[in-house]
């Protein structure tokens, strides 16, 4: 009887020892296709339609919208952070800042 209990419990206990960590993604994921549609001269409604609601809309900087995305992959210590900032003048996109700059090799 003890042998059967041992045979059943050992695999269950060893299986519980492994830790699975998932990728953690937070914020607004902005696809390259969305950035191609975004143009200087768009109004706020058009920009919101293309990119969605901004992650950060600061009441002290009403003419700036920040779209922030971060991802930490399983087994990695570094966090990938991307930010798209839109600057408005007279409710029209005047400048677009992208950090880091997208490359053609990015997924």
Asked whether residue 80 is domain-assigned, the answer is: yes
CA 9 from chain centre, in angstroms, equals 41
pLDDT over 70 at 101, yes or no: no
Is 104 part of any domain? no
Q: Which two tokens stand for residue 25?
A: 């993604």
Structure tokens at 18: 């492994």
Number of domains in the chain: 1
* CATH number of 77's domain: 3.30.1450.10
Residue with tokens 């695999």: 11
Tell me what pLDDT residue 107 has.
Answer: 43
- pTM for this model (two decimals): 0.66
Range of the structural domain that residue 68 is part of: 21-99
**Does residue 50 lie in a domain region?**
yes
Q: In whole angstroms, how far apart are CA 45 and each of 22, 72, 86, 88, 107?
A: 35, 31, 13, 12, 28
pLDDT in tens, 9-49: 777 666 656 665 666 667 777 888 998 999 999 999 999 99
* Reported confidence tier of residue 105, pLDDT bands at 50, 70, 90: very low
Asked if residue 52 belongs to a domain, the reply is yes
**H or E element at residue 27:** strand 24-27
pLDDT in tens, 45-65: 999 999 998 877 678 888 999
* Residue 3: inside a domain: no
5 located within any domain: no
Higher pLDDT, 73 or 47: 47
Q: How far apart are CA 52 and CA 94, in angstroms?
A: 18
Which residue from 91, 25, 84 is spatially nearest to 52, judged by alpha carbons?
Answer: 84
């Amino acid at each position: 009887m003890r042998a059967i209990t041992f045979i059943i419990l050992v695999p269950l206990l060893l299986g519980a020892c492994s830790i699975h960590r998932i990728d953690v993604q937070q914020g607004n994921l902005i696809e390259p296709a969305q950035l191609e549609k975004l143009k200087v001269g768009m109004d706020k409604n058009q920009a919101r339609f293309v990119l969605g609601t901004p992650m950060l809309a600061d009441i002290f900087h009403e003419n700036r919208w920040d779209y922030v995305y971060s991802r930490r992959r399983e087994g990695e210590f570094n966090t990938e952070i991307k930010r798209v900032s839109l600057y408005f003048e007279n409710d029209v996109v005047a400048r677009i800042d992208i950090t880091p700059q997208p490359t053609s090799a990015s997924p």
